[in-house]
Structure 1
Amino acid sequence: MRKKYNFSLKVFSEKMHMSALIPDRCSAIVRTSFGSVGIAVEHETITAIRIFPDLFVEKKATDALSAEAVRQIRGYLDHPGACLDLPVTMPGREIHRRVWRELMSIPCGEIRTYGELGNLLHLSPGVICRACEENPLSLYIPSHRVIAITGPRGPVGEGDPSSARLRMKRWLLKHEGFLYG
């Protein structure tokens, strides 16, 4: 069962967010075809999983929990239906944690729009977008499954198609079977 998280009551400021998620502070880094995935561990809990698009480095795990996170992330990369089952801390504002809990219920291979989630949670699409942008646990909280709008060719309205972040998001959606080609 995946319910191994601790919702921290402290406010997760942008400064803390960025300092906790730089490659030098990662306990391990997994190299992927779209970049790298960094893992941060504190007090025997995962505090951050961040995707670094277009950064192709690897860092060996410094502890057992990081090694387990690496194993599970590689499992997801091999089998997109695999769910990460790790002890995590989800800091942040309550409104963002509410959005993140909802994101965790989106099945692999499915998407929601910012508007759909906004209607469901009675929040503006902008709040949903900010919660996705401030997600400290990429892949564990699948914010890549939230898109602006859908069109006949799949997700559109996500910004510059040449951006590394959008390429990574499209790679993940294709990996999970939502996008084809």
Structure 2
Amino acid sequence: MHVELLGGTVDVDAGLIDAPDGEIREQVAAYAAGDRREFDLPVAVPDDFTGDVMAAMAPIPYGETRTYGDLATELDTAPVAVGQACGHNPVPIVVPCHRVVSAASLGGYSAAGGVELKARLLALEAR
């Protein structure tokens, strides 16, 4: 499903979320409006490296970031591998890959709108 927010489009694999599409859209809209800081959507995390990275990203609190290196240390892997897994996150926003940044920059963002959308998401959370 395509979810529009803050001038970008995020592809969310609704098949991994145990909730109706309308509920997913409502929660994302509330997040974008600044009325929601956490999602109440059960996510089926894949049983692979991307799933391991998703599990490490999920608890990053609203308004905070971690570096690819932070997660790499936690998972005993390389920052580049973490970045690649972030780019394969099937449920961005719900599992907050936008909160994972490079040590020297914002890093990348796979959603339409790219790094500019990532910057807007982080700015929303900084309010």
Smaller-chain TM-score bracket: 0.7 to 0.9
Alpha carbons of 1:158 and 1:39: their partners in 2 closer, same or farther (altered >3 Å)? closer
Alpha carbons of 1:77 and 1:92: their partners in 2 closer, same or farther (altered >3 Å)? same
Matched residues, number: 124
Scaled by the length of structure 1, the TM-score of the pair is 0.59
Distance in 2 between residues matched to 1:131 and 1:80, nearest whole Å: 28
Query: How far apart are residue 87 of structure 1 and its match?
Result: 2.9
2:92 is the alignment partner of 1:135: no
Matched residues, percent identical? 31
Query: How far apart are residue 38 of structure 1 and its match?
Result: 4.3
Query: How far apart are residue 35 of structure 1 and its match?
Result: 1.6
Moved over 3 A (4+): 37-42
The one of 61, 67, 81 aligned to 2:22: 67
Distance in 2 between residues matched to 1:138 and 1:102, nearest whole Å: 14
Higher strand residue share: 1
Alpha carbons of 1:80 and 1:141: their partners in 2 closer, same or farther (altered >3 Å)? farther
Structure number with larger C-alpha Rg: 1
* Map 1:60-139 → 2, pairs under 5 A: 65-79=20-34, 81-91=36-46, 93=48, 95-139=49-93
* Consecutive unaligned residues in structure 1, runs of 5 or more: 1-25, 48-63, 151-155
Alpha carbons of 1:129 and 1:80: their partners in 2 closer, same or farther (altered >3 Å)? farther
Alpha carbons of 1:98 and 1:38: their partners in 2 closer, same or farther (altered >3 Å)? closer
Higher helix residue share: 2
Asked whether the equivalents of residues 40 and 46 of structure 1 are also in contact (C-alpha less than 8 Å), the reply is yes
Alpha carbons of 1:78 and 1:101: their partners in 2 closer, same or farther (altered >3 Å)? same
Whichever residue aligns with residue 127 of structure 1, its letter is: A
Distance in 2 between residues matched to 1:173 and 1:32, nearest whole Å: 13
Alpha carbons of 1:41 and 1:102: their partners in 2 closer, same or farther (altered >3 Å)? closer
Query: How far apart are residue 40 of structure 1 and its match?
Result: 4.4
The one of 132, 136, 147 aligned to 2:101: 147
